[in-house]
Structures are given as C-alpha cells and as structure tokens.
Amino acid sequence: MSVNRQLCLKRNIQQGEPVSLDLFEVREAPLPEPAAGEFLVKTAALGFSPAQRAYLMGTASRFHAPVDLGEVMRGRGVGRVMASRHPDFREGDVVACSTGWQDYSIQSGDVSGMLVKTLQRVSDPQQPLHLHLGILGSSGFSAYFGFLDIGRPQAGDTVVVSAAAGGVGSIVCQIARLKGCRVVGIAGGAEKCAWLKQVVGVDEAIDYKADDLDQKFQEYCPSGIDVYFDNVGGDTLDAAMKNIALRGRAVICGMISTEYHEPPLPGPRYYYNLIYKRARMEGFFVWDYHEQFPAAEKELIDWYKAGDLKPTEVVYQGLLSAPDALQSLFSGADCGIRVVDC
Ligand SMILES: NC(=O)c1ccc[n+]([C@@H]2O[C@H](COP(=O)([O-])OP(=O)(O)OC[C@H]3O[C@@H](n4cnc5c(N)ncnc54)[C@H](OP(=O)(O)O)[C@@H]3O)[C@@H](O)[C@H]2O)c1
C-alpha cells in the first residue's frame, strides 16, 4: 500500500455521545519517509484505553493533551519496522508504541523526555501481534504491576476485581488465580458473569447491575476483601471499601464510572476503613514501570505458553472499526481486551 490511511478528528465529541466514525475524516496521506534517527512502522493492530475518550473532548485531561481538530487520532498500536534510519531499530523489528489511528507512523525511538513512555520493543514476538497490546502488552502490564506491586497478594487472599470481564480486569483475575488467591469478579450482566466463571476461571462472579454488592461481598468474602483491584470507582469502590479486610489493599487502576463527570462526583465514602482496618489505598500509573516491561513481558509470555494465561482479545477488523472498538469500552459490549487488526 503506498498511501497512509489516517483517521483525523473532524469535530469534538459531545457529553454522552458515543464514539463513532462520524467524528473522524478518513484521509489518504502519502507514505511518510523516516529522516535520520527515525524509523517507519506499519501498524499491525491497535489497542484501546478509556483515556482516549478524553482526547476527543477538546480539553486537556489529567495526563494528555486533547487531539486537535484535523490531527490523527492518538492511540497505541503494535507493528513492524518497515524502514529505519535509527541505529537501534532494524527493518523487521516489532514495536508497540503510539502509532495513532493510521496505517503507518514515523517514530523517533526517543522516550527520554516523555511523561508517558509509550515505546516498547517486543523482544519475543508472538502471533497474532495484537497479543502485545493485550495480555502480553499494556493491558497485561497494567494488571501485572498494579496487582503484584501495589496489591501485594499472598496465597489464600480473597481478591475482588471490578470490570473483571474487561481488558485489565480479566488479566488480574488470571494472575490472582496463578498466585493461589480466591478470586471474585464483578461485571455487568449474567452473560459476562458466566464468561468470567467459564473462561477466566473466577471462583465467584457478581453482576453489579442486578446484585446487591454489599450483600454479595458479605457472602463471598466473609473475612473481608484482602485485595480490591478497582477499575471503575463510584458505588463499587464504596461497597468494596466497606468490606475491606484488616490490612487490606485497594489498588486504584481506573474509575471509568465517574471519570468524565463534570463537576467531579463526591469521593469514596467508606475511607474511614483505611484507619479502622489499617488498610491501604494506592493508585499506580503503568508507564512508570516502563523500564521493567521486558521482565514482565517475559513472565507473561511464559504463563501464556504454559496455558496459564488465556488470551481474551476481542478482534475488530480494519482501521475504520477503531471508533467502534473504543466505544465498546463504554457500552460494555464485549468481554475481554478490545483490539483492531489493521
Ligand atoms: N492506572 C493505569 O496505569 C491504567 C492503565 C490501563 C488502564 N487503566 C484503567 O483501567 C480500567 C480498565 O481499562 P481497560 O482498558 O481494561 O478497559 P475495560 O475494562 O476493558 O473496559 C471498560 C469496562 O468497564 C465497564 N464499565 C464501563 N462503564 C462503566 C460504568 N459506568 N460503571 C461500571 N463499569 C463500567 C464495562 O464492563 P461491564 O460491562 O462489566 O460494566 C467495560 O467493559 C479503566 O478505568 C482504565 O482507565 C489504568
């Protein structure tokens, strides 16, 4: 292909509006050429994060500038180096990086000044390459570091995971099982709960849309929650903190249920349990672990090859399906990690 298809932002998203192709102009640009110190990457697959919705709003979020009108939509992808004028990257290398929603991107290979160090060399590429955005990539790293480094699980712990049928959540559940923990997953709907039990292998599943969370926590976690891995915030975080165990750990990964409310909603209600239960609540940012990604990647690949870590990727086909894949994070339409094969 000699043109570079790009999804460029045409207009900002409105409050409550679903992400759709309508927000973008599909542009055909010439194939870019790397200058000295740069390399050209052909996008093989794209990954998605709820933070990308903030890019479309036209206002700066906590970590990221908005995507300007006319600019290529920002996003993480994995791909192969097609041409290189960079001393450390060769044609054929596989990298995961900020490719944007386009067929080809130019990368500088320099992460030194970046707050979000997105460039990652994939040293042991597995097929399909989209695994390096999912269980073996940024979703896997978020689960790995958030759960192991902040959650500090012990065998026998009771672990509760919100958005357990989502990307990061489904991996946390699997790692928790690997570490000998009892795992309780929370998801929206009976179908997702069945998937959690049958595919992910949780011990118990709670449907937060139908069940009384507090009652279910008392039933499934009678000695309290040792590790609560939170992806959603809001009422679910409140119910979990009400039931946190003595010296329990709440890992704050995300807060998709409240993140985009303006003005911000009131904060956690049962945080007095941080005192009474000598508990800990701590957030983390996966990109802070950038230098440890190679070691994590190796362990995740070992678990994957041994069959202990199951792929949960849901594959959308083609660059133009990227808006639908992103919207699925908010509609909850799929189980697992959303990726687009380009
Ligand atoms: N701290 C970090 O460094 C870091 C890194 C990566 C991701 N994150 C955060 O981790 C979380 C998970 O990310 P992900 O990419 O793996 O997404 P995800 O969990 O695959 O997708 C989001 C899921 O959240 C649930 N959800 C959506 N709206 C909700 C609402 N209003 N209330 C409750 N649940 C809702 C949906 O599941 P149901 O259908 O079950 O409701 C949906 O499938 C996000 O909050 C993300 O921002 C943080």
Could you please report the per-residue DSSP string of 83-132?
A: EE-STT--TT-EEEEE--SBSEEEE----TT-SS---EEESS--SSGGGG
Instruction: Measure the CA–CA gap between 140 and 129, rounded to whole angstroms.
Output: 14
Residue type, 151: G
pLDDT at 1 over 70: no
**Mean pLDDT value across residues 295-304:** 97
The helix/strand/coil state of 22 is: helix
Longest dimension (CA), the chain: 63
DSSP state letter for 223 = T
Q: What is the pLDDT of residue 109?
A: 77
Q: What is the pLDDT of residue 260?
A: 74
Question: Residue 128, preceding bond cis, omega within 30 degrees?
Answer: yes
237 falls in which pLDDT band (50, 70, 90)? very high
Instruction: Measure the CA–CA gap between 320 and 43, rounded to whole angstroms.
Output: 13
Site residues for ligand 1, CB cut-off 6 Å: 49-51, 139, 142, 163, 165-169, 187-188, 192, 231-232, 253-254, 256-257, 284-286, 329-330, 332
CA of 117 to the centre of ligand 1 (A): 21
Using the atom order of ligand 1, give the atom closest to the CA of residue 328: 43
Q: What is the pLDDT of residue 203?
A: 98
Compute the chain's Rg from CA coordinates. 20
138-286 belongs to CATH 2.40.30.10? no
Tell me the pLDDT of the chain averaged across its residues: 94
Start-end of CATH 3.90.180.10 domains in the chain? 3-130+311-341
Q: What are the residue ranges of helices labelled H in 159-249?
A: 167-178, 190-195, 213-220, 234-242
Q: Per mean pLDDT, which range of 2-16, 179-193, 253-267 is the poorest? A: 253-267
C-alpha pair distances (Å), 127 with each of 99, 133, 242, 266 = 19, 12, 43, 44
Say if CB 185 and CB 164 are below 8 A apart: yes
C-alpha pair distances (Å), 327 with each of 193, 249, 264 = 21, 31, 22
Q: Whose CA is closest to atom 36 on ligand 1?
A: 332
**Mean pLDDT value across residues 161-187:** 98
CA of 108 to the centre of ligand 1 (A): 30
- Reported as a single tens digit per residue, the pLDDT across 191-219 is 999 999 999 999 999 999 999 999 999 99
Q: What is the pLDDT of residue 225?
A: 98
Of 63 and 43, the structure prediction assigns the larger pLDDT to: 43
Q: Whose CA is closest to atom 45 on ligand 1?
A: 254
Say if CB 320 and CB 20 are below 8 A apart: no
pLDDT at 62 over 70: no
- Reported as a single tens digit per residue, the pLDDT across 125-158 is 999 999 999 999 999 999 999 999 999 999 999 9
Task: Report the CATH fold assignment for 3-130+311-341.
Answer: Quinone Oxidoreductase; Chain A, domain 1 (3.90.180)
- Reported as a single tens digit per residue, the pLDDT across 110-121 is 766 666 678 889
pLDDT at 276 over 70: yes
Angle 308-310-311 from CA coordinates, rounded to 5°: 150
Closest residue by Cα to residue 226 from 283, 270, 182: 182
Start-end of CATH 3.40.50.720 domains in the chain? 138-286
CA of 169 to the centre of ligand 1 (A): 8
pLDDT at 61 over 70: no
Pairing status of strand 120-122 against strand 158-161: unpaired
246 — phi, psi (to 5°)?
-55, 130
Of 109 and 70, the structure prediction assigns the larger pLDDT to: 70
Residue with tokens 């660059």: 319
Q: What is the pLDDT of residue 114?
A: 66
Residue type, 279: A
Q: What is the pLDDT of residue 265?
A: 87
